[in-house]
């Protein structure tokens, strides 16, 4: 499994000939490592409906004829805009040709900004993505919650991506605790430094994981790891 950080909370995950993208907020993202029009994938995974996560999903999915995999209400919205979809919901899992996805809970909000007001987009989610025997846990936007211990106990997580930006999600202190609960071997910080309000020191966060034997990986947009 190859995981490439594309900025904010966006990741490109590859295994064999298959590629999926998670939360592709690229257009309008000052930290984005690529342009939306250059993305070629087999599926688009979206954790929730906020603009910095839904981002370019509909465009990428339509152009690639790749399904948007998201919580039911958000998937239905994307379908109304012409995108191919595969709806799921919290606690549900499904085996796709590229790998297995299970949606986890995330404590946050989920709505789509519209000129006529906010459109309800269902519950936010985290994603457990397993490809070629390796599991990547993308926590989505979330606060710290105690069931992260259960997620770690029930799943052998090789890599986790956790938000550290604070204000809208958990900050570094809570993310350190989350990393310990999840039990992942490697942890990538996300959802930080895109805007002034969520500026954080990712290297300092990564260093705080070392005493627990966790490898913190403060990837810069465009950098990759392989597991």
CB 191 within 8 A of CB 170: no
Q: Which of 135, 198, 152 is nearest to 9 (CA)?
A: 198
What DSSP designation does 76 have?
H
Residue 181 CA to residue 165 CA, distance in Å, equals 19
Residue-level pLDDT at 82: 97
Domain membership of residue 225 (yes or no) is: no
Q: How far is CA 60 from CA 56, 66, 113, 147, in A?
A: 6, 8, 19, 33
Domain that holds residue 80: 2-219
Domain membership of residue 162 (yes or no) is: yes
Domain membership of residue 226 (yes or no) is: no
CB 98 within 8 A of CB 44: no
Domain membership of residue 227 (yes or no) is: no
Q: Per-block average pLDDT, block size 10, for the chain (227 residues)? A: 98 98 98 97 98 98 98 98 98 98 98 92 98 98 98 98 98 98 97 98 98 97 97
Q: Interhelix angle for 57-64 vs 72-80, to 10°?
A: 70
Domain membership of residue 35 (yes or no) is: yes
The number of domains in the chain is 1
Domain membership of residue 131 (yes or no) is: yes
CB 184 within 8 A of CB 167: no
Domain membership of residue 130 (yes or no) is: yes
Region of residue 193 (phi > 0: left; psi between -120 and 50: alpha; otherwise: beta): left
Residue-level pLDDT at 115: 86
Question: Please, is 10 exposed, middle or buried when counting C-beta atoms within 10 Å of its C-beta (0-12, 13-18, 19+)?
Answer: buried
Give the number of other Cβ atoms within 10 Å of residue 103's Cβ: 24
**Collapsed DSSP state (helix, strand, coil) of residue 64:** helix
Domain membership of residue 172 (yes or no) is: yes
pTM over 0.95: yes
CATH assignment of the domain containing 115: 3.60.15.10
Residue 107 CA to residue 204 CA, distance in Å, equals 25
Residue 27 CA to residue 4 CA, distance in Å, equals 17
């Amino acid at each position: 499994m190859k995981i490439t950080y594309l900025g904010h909370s966006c990741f490109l995950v590859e295994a064999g000939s298959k590629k999926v993208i998670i939360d592709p907020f690229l257009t309008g993202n000052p930290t984005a490592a690529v342009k939306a029009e250059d993305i070629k994938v087999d599926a688009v995974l979206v954790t929730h409906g906020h603009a910095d996560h839904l981002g370019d999903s509909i465009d990428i999915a339509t152009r690639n004829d790749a399904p948007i995999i998201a919580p039911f209400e958000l998937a239905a919205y994307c379908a109304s805009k012409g995108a191919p979809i595969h709806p799921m919901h919290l606690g549900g899992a499904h085996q796709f040709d590229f790998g297995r996805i299970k949606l986890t809970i995330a404590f946050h909000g989920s709505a789509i900004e519209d000129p006529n007001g906010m459109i309800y987009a269902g519950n936010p989610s985290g994603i457990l993505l397993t490809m070629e025997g390796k599991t990547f846990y993308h926590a989505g936007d979330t606060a710290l919650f105690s069931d992260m211990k259960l997620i770690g106990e029930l799943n052998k997580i090789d890599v986790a991506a956790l938000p550290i930006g604070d204000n809208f999600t958990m900050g570094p202190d809570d993310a350190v605790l989350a990393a310990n609960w999840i039990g992942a071997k490697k942890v990538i910080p996300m959802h930080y430094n895109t805007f002034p309000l969520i500026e954080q020191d990712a290297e300092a966060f990564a260093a705080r994981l070392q005493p627990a034997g966790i490898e913190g990986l403060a990837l810069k947009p465009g950098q990759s790891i392989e597991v």
